[in-house]
Structure 1
Amino acid sequence: MTYIEKIISLLRILSQENGASIDTLTKDLDLSPNRIYQNIRGIEKAGIEVIKDKVGFRRIRKEQLLATFNMTTKELQIIDVLKESIRKQKCIYIKEYSDSKGNVETFKVEPVKLFDNNRRIWVFDVADYQHKQFKLSRIGKLENSETPVDKYRHIDPKIDVFGSTGKEFIEVSFLLTDLACHLIKETYPESFKNIFPSSNKDFPFKFQAFVTSFWGVGRYILGMPGHIIDIKPISLLEHIKTETKKAYYFS
């Protein structure tokens, strides 16, 4: 078995429901414990959380693994450049950024934090003097800068499982069908810790979490008609009703 094949096998074993012990990994992969720990640290540096369930046991969430590998080569290169810029505490130019309205702009920013499974970057916009978030998939290219960042003006973002940011958290909950539960875990891997069993046989799962806005959670609910009920609080339900009215394109 080549070293690359051993890495692939390591990821496959760790993504199983119960994961594996270091001893098991050592025997199955014919690697020393030190090399196993070294590879695990490499996996964590790649943005994949390695969970320690028991003494000597490690596992990774399959949904997060799939989300991490569902990236283009360009996005992976952008992640590496951003991580290096954060490490060196240097500004960076985000060039040819295409926003949702079709505008293409360039921004000089101080990178603060990657989030949403490395799909977004939280930055301080030097020109606008405010924090913003950018989707990596919308970035055309990056250009390094030697300008040092002023980390004392950085604010650590409040980020919910849907990738939304804000100043305050609001508690929301709703019941889901099997399909809705599967899709929320696939699309938002961090949501697994907010899903619990429900006593409703048709909607056997309950999602309960704190969100920073209704934008992300609302967009998810609107995409699952008939598969979500008992939406709380009332203000979230009102948000869904308002957004639903906007979906009527013909009068």
Structure 2
Amino acid sequence: MNEQQKILRIFRLIHILAGNQRKTIKQLQNTLEVSQSTIYKYLNLLEELGYCVDKDEHDKYFIFEPDHRMPLFIEEEVQFLNQCLSGLPNNNPYKISLSKKIQLNGLFIPTAQELKQRMYTRLILQINEAITNQLWITLCKYQSADSSTSEDRIVLPKKIDSENGQLTAFDVKRNAIRMFKIHRITKIEHAEKPAQPVNPEILTPVDLFGLTGPLPIKVELLLSQRAKHLLEEEYPAAGSFITPENNTLFPYRYVSEIRDFKGVGRFILGLPGEIQIISPIELIAYLLERMKGYTFISNIQTMSV
């Protein structure tokens, strides 16, 4: 392994350990594709660099960072230590150890979160480049929320929502549009265009809710104050489609084109009584059909007085 690969893997390790999901040694080994002993060496190296690596009761590792970082030595202490060390032979173990700490003291060592943010920004730039140039990419060792394993996912990026940390892309393996969490991506590589035929919906635009379909569907809704707030919070781009409405119960109107009823349907069903559907009538029919699949459980206890 050359030094560049080693550095990149260490940065990826910091990115993983600084995230919300803690990892076992085995999971780190599979993600970084190195031996177990190498993972332990990397963890020790992070400790030497000043990062606090810890593990929980399930032997899952993470980086712990206090709210404030303090330097190893203040300037006066550095001067005093240099004077003391100057009189010791160069092979003295204490001189070597302290000299390393003094050197680190003069360096700006970014926190894991700062490095994570830099990597996040780099991923955003790579994805935007792929969207602009219609390039296929590989999300290396991507771990979905419903799986404990990670795998490479070859995708064609369609839309990115950096504020909510979501990537909408055409997934070759699923042969459909899928949503990916950017914080679960640790590395992106260019990929060749798949040889096999792909779903025609890959050529169609993606709507606000990250879905696609053959034809645009105009949707018009009236929103309560709460519905408007939640819609803009979950989908920041929705703000450009919302206008004030002279209505006490529903003071906002949302008008836009969608590609599938699923996305807007989930949002409406999650806010009963907060949204009034103006059009189309097919959306109402879709919601009524969806509600047939809902199971309502009533637990009523009969009490005798």
For the aligned pair, the TM-score class normalised by the smaller chain equals: 0.5 to 0.7
Q: How does 1:103-142 map to 2 (within 5 A)?
A: 104=149, 106-117=151-162, 119-123=166-170, 125=172, 130=175, 132-137=177-182, 139-142=184-187
> Is 1:216 the counterpart of 2:270 in the alignment?
no
Partner of 1:144: 189
Q: Deviations over 1:27-72 (max 9, x none)?
A: xxxxxxxxxxxxxxxxxxxxxxxxxxxxxxxxxxxxxxxxxxxxx7
Q: What SS does structure 2 have at the residue aligned with 1:248?
A: coil
- Taking the aligned partners of 2:244 and 2:129, their CA distance within structure 1 comes to 41
Partner of 1:205: 252
Q: How does 1:225-236 map to 2 (within 5 A)?
A: 225-236=272-283
Q: Higher strand share goes to which structure?
A: 1
Partner of 1:196: 243
How many angstroms does 1:78 deviate by? 3.5
- Taking the aligned partners of 1:94 and 1:134, their CA distance within structure 2 comes to 15
- Taking the aligned partners of 1:142 and 1:85, their CA distance within structure 2 comes to 14
Contact 1:114–1:122 (CA under 8 A) maintained in structure 2: yes
- Taking the aligned partners of 1:189 and 1:135, their CA distance within structure 2 comes to 17
How many angstroms does 1:216 deviate by? 0.8
Q: Normalising by the residue count of structure 1, what TM-score does the alignment of the two structures yield?
A: 0.55
Contact 1:174–1:232 (CA under 8 A) maintained in structure 2: yes
Q: How does 1:1-251 map to 2 (within 5 A)?
A: 73=117, 75-83=120-128, 89=135, 91-98=137-144, 101-102=146-147, 104=149, 106-117=151-162, 119-123=166-170, 125=172, 130=175, 132-137=177-182, 139-142=184-187, 144-145=189-190, 147-149=191-193, 155-250=202-297
Name whichever of 110-119 and 185-194 sits farther off: 110-119
Unaligned 5+ segments in structure 2 are 1-115, 299-305
Amino acid at match of 2:230: L
Contact 1:94–1:139 (CA under 8 A) maintained in structure 2: no
Contact 1:175–1:206 (CA under 8 A) maintained in structure 2: yes
| Backbone CA RMSD of aligned residues | 3.4
- Taking the aligned partners of 2:192 and 2:284, their CA distance within structure 1 comes to 45
Q: What SS does structure 2 have at the residue aligned with 1:115?
A: strand
How many angstroms does 1:88 deviate by? 10
Amino acid at match of 1:214: F
Q: What SS does structure 1 have at the residue aligned with 2:143?
A: strand
How many angstroms does 1:195 deviate by? 1.4
Q: Deviations over 1:49-106 (max 9, x none)?
A: xxxxxxxxxxxxxxxxxxxxxxx7465454344346666946424423315x447452
- Taking the aligned partners of 2:254 and 2:137, their CA distance within structure 1 comes to 39
- Taking the aligned partners of 1:248 and 1:79, their CA distance within structure 2 comes to 40
